[in-house]
A and B are shown apart, each in its own frame.
Chain A
Amino acid sequence: MYKGYVVDKALLDKDPHFKAGCILCHAGNDGELSKEKAHLRMLKKPSDNLRSCGVCHKKTAANYAKSLHYTTIGQRTGVMPRFSEAELKTFDEKVFEKSCRSCHASCGDCHVKGAPVGGISIGLVAKHKFVKKDEGKTCAFCHGGRVYPEYTGDYGGAPDVHYQKGMLCMDCHKKAEFHGDGTAYKSKNEVPQRPACKSCHPQGKEAKKETQVAHSLHDGKVSCYGCHSGSAYRNCNDCHGGHAAAGPGMILGRSPRDRKVLTTLRLIPTVRDTFAPAGIKMEHFDAVPNYWDTPAHNIKKRTERTRKCDVCHVDRKNFLTKETLIKNGAKANEELIFVPKAIAR
């Protein structure tokens, strides 16, 4: 990936970031030709320190310092109900900062260079051009294990209809959501700027009467994904315990965040001994399900569930059952099982 280190000469005169020379951000020694001498005390990734960009982009950097992409605190928020107080302290000291937080994105990870994943990085995204966005080289890398290939269809299912229409990540996930508004949200569900289907697809404006009726009947009871997820998506199991397993599946059940709503669930890779190497047993493991509500990024207008009521109400296809629950999972998983009402004929 040597191309990740090549800079476009044409940028040097045009881009104001280069006016003060490379050493303004990278330090090192720009008077030397020898690699070792030139790179002495060089900062490889100056954008990993928000203050580098904050010199000029003060407000953005200040907001971003509290945003979820930077703090990654959502990961901690999700797992911490499984811990006792003492275990949470150990988690913070031994696990979160050293492991989970390595996923945080710096300014450069979206605007200059691809973020390293598993030790691999594509390097500079566009020969050191400071891009506003390049989803295929940035979002796709960090979110390339699940969401992105589901969205593009590369995972093997049908591509999301929005992708087919030429939309990429930032067409729904706007700048304000990433940069943040200066509030340190604890979870993505708290972020007011996160996308919502109804922002573009308001209820009551559907072209067909039967669609309006179907939406009205299921409003507040079934999420958009519950009917419109087009195919199986990736479910991960035990990925952090050294026995990684992942496979396709569509799982319908009660949302762990709102048990009144049926939605698509995704198996998450926390198992009983995930944090055993750090001495954490997870005293409250059973209190939190192993499935989270997932906004499956494989939307289709027409699915087998929109075509035929029987798929859910008679066949109960893809619904979570006691038999399909993961082995040795949390007791809380059973609370997500939903049995749809049979249709009166």
Chain B
Amino acid sequence: MKNRRTFLLAFLAVWILALYGAAVFAATPNKCIQCHTNDALMKSLHKPPVLPKSEGEG
């Protein structure tokens, strides 16, 4: 009886932790897209590359 109760409590604890973890994961924002989906921000941050002296290609 005691063993069965312990098992049920452990099983419940695992499930609660899993659901909590999933919620945390889902809630964590991907900060990459906050910048990279913002046209105006990309424009302000972009620095044109300095081109090397090189021959053409193609």
User: Measuring CB to CB, which residues of chain A are less than 8 angstroms from any residue of chain B?
Assistant: 1-3, 5-9, 12, 21-23, 26, 28, 30-33, 35, 38, 103, 117-120, 141-146, 239-240, 242, 244
Contacts and interface: CB of A to CB of B under 8 A. Distances in A.
User: Interface residues of B toward A: which range?
Assistant: 20 to 34
Chain B, interface SS category = loop
B37 A6 contact: yes
A94 B34 CA distance: 43
Contacts of B55: 118, 239-240, 242, 244
Contacts of B43: 2
If over half of A's interface residues share one DSSP class (helix, strand or loop), that class is named, otherwise mixed; here it is: loop
Interface of B: 28, 30-39, 42-43, 45-46, 48-49, 51-52, 54-58
Contacts of A240: 55
A26 B38 CA distance: 19
A117 B57 contact: yes
A35 B33 CA distance: 12
Given A22-B32, A26-B32, A35-B45, 5 more contacts: A6-B39, A6-B42, A9-B33, A120-B49, A144-B58
Nearest to A8: B37
Which 9 pairs between the two chains have the least Cβ-Cβ distance?
A: A145-B58, A2-B46, A22-B32, A9-B37, A119-B51, A7-B36, A2-B43, A2-B42, A30-B30
Nearest to B44: A2
Contacts of A141: 58
A21 B37 contact: no
A266 to B, nearest CB: 13
A2 B37 contact: no
B55 to A, nearest CB: 6
Which of B31, B34, B54 is packed against the most chain A CB atoms within 10 Å?
B31
Given A103-B57, A239-B56, A32 B33 contact: no
A230 to B, nearest CB: 21
20 contacts: A2-B43, A2-B46, A5-B36, A7-B33, A8-B37, A21-B30, A28-B32, A30-B30, A30-B31, A33-B34, A38-B31, A117-B57, A118-B56, A118-B57, A119-B51, A120-B49, A145-B56, A240-B55, A242-B55, A244-B55
B52 A119 contact: yes
Nearest to A140: B58
Contacts of B46: 1-2, 5
A9 B49 CA distance: 26
A117 B55 CA distance: 10
A281 B30 CA distance: 55
A117 B28 CA distance: 38
- Most chain B beta carbons < 10 A, residue from A3, A35, A118, A141: A118
